[in-house]
């Protein structure tokens, strides 16, 4: 890989890290708003004395759902990564079989 390609790849990695950080921060803001909305809904639906056990049950359910979603996302990333590597390998094989004329 040439020096130019390495610089472009480093810049792309920094840009991706920056974008990931921004998306994470925005997701945190959304999560905080949902936190307040869910707390208010629980306070209206559940009597004050019984709320703690229901909050734990809700937290467990939400945790299970989030773990499943994270697993699906990670698994889909692995599948996408494999597909990209296969496409790169096919492209290299094609270029090897039919080299570009200079």
Q: Say if residue 69 is in the same domain as residue 99.
A: yes
Q: How far apart are CA 17 and CA 33, in angstroms?
A: 25
User: Which pLDDT value is given to residue 49?
Assistant: 65
Q: Say if residue 62 is in the same domain as residue 80.
A: yes
What is the residue range of 57's domain?
47-102
Q: Say if residue 41 is in the same domain as residue 73.
A: no
- What radius of gyration, in Å, describes the C-alpha atoms of the chain? 24
Tokens for 97? 């079989």
Q: What's the domain count of the chain?
A: 2
How confident is the prediction for the chain on average, in pLDDT? 82
Give 38-80 pLDDT, tens digit per residue: 888 877 877 666 667 777 887 888 889 989 998 998 888 888 8
């Amino acid at each position: 890989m040439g020096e130019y390609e390495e610089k472009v790849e480093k810049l792309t990695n920094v840009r991706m890290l920056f974008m990931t950080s921004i998306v994470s921060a925005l997701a945190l803001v959304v999560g905080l708003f949902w936190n307040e909305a869910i707390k208010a809904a629980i306070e209206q639906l559940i009597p004050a004395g019984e709320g703690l056990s229901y909050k734990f049950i809700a937290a467990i359910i939400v945790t299970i759902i989030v773990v499943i979603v994270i697993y699906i996302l990670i698994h889909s990333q692995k599948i996408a990564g494999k597909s990209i590597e296969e496409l790169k390998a096919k492209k290299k094989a094609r270029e090897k079989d039919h080299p570009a004329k200079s």
